[in-house]
Amino acid sequence: MLSFLIIVAIIIVAMLVWSLIKRQRDKTEKTSTSKLSLDDLSQGGIISITGTDYLVEERNRYSAGDSEWFEVKLTGEGSETWWLGWEPSDEEVTLTAEIEFQELGITPADLEIFADEGRGEFEYQNLTYHLVEVGEARYHRQDEPGGDEMYYWDFHDDSSVNVVSVVQWASGAYDAYAGRIVAKSLVEILRAEAEEDFSPYRNIKGIISDE
């Protein structure tokens, strides 16, 4: 009987020790995740914005003088593509999707006038957008050195919630993006980088369920 009680006691102690270790490990993992920031993101990371999960396909950098800002290309379930952009010191981010430049109803000549005058506005989808910033920068895809020269025009609507951005490349081509401003606190980082078996072509639903 004594031997049986000793064995039971050993089992109970072992279970308690394991429970404490697991609790501490979970606490450490949770703390580690909570300390992650957008600056930790790289290809293969997963983020959640207001409950919707996105896979990070690539991370890019922009530079202009001493200033830097970043973006990640996101893919959601259903293969829709979004772009999340931020500056390290800002408390807000932009979430945009690419649109056709022609949809905006403005021309390259209009953009030149906006740049020269430092102001300008246009109507898009029943909202009035106003120029808030125009400048020249370099685009570093996947943080590559050197980068590509580009010009950009950023517009906000009257509420400063909806945004439109236009980019002109050295080739003369124009890209346009439309979306909204989101509080950085609403972006949750579920995973900062890729796992060993990461493939950018896997469906995000499969990636989440594999976790």
Give the Cα separation of 184 and 87 in Å (integer): 10
Q: Are 97 and 78 in contact (CB under 8 A)?
A: no
What pLDDT is recorded for position 4?
54
Give the Cα separation of 158 and 132 in Å (integer): 11
DSSP state of 22: H
**pLDDT in 10s for each residue of the chain, 211 residues:** 656 555 555 555 445 434 543 454 454 344 344 578 898 999 999 999 988 999 999 999 999 999 999 999 999 877 789 999 999 989 999 999 999 999 999 999 999 999 999 999 999 999 999 999 999 999 999 888 889 999 999 999 999 999 999 999 999 999 999 999 999 999 999 998 887 654 444 444 443 334 4
What pLDDT is recorded for position 24?
43
Maximal C-alpha separation, the chain: 94
Query: Which distant-in-sequence residues (6+ apart) come within 8 Å of 114 by Cβ?
Result: 120, 131, 134, 153
Give the Cα separation of 183 and 113 in Å (integer): 32
What pLDDT is recorded for position 12?
58
Quick one: which of 58, 60, 62, 103 has its CA closest to 81?
Answer: 58
Q: Are 61 and 68 in contact (CB under 8 A)?
A: yes
Percent helix / strand / coil, the chain, rounded to 5: 30, 45, 25
What pLDDT is recorded for position 11?
58
Q: What distances in angstroms separate CA 163 from CA 72, 103, 132, 134, 157, one per listed residue? A: 17, 14, 10, 14, 6
What pLDDT is recorded for position 144?
87
What pLDDT is recorded for position 195?
74
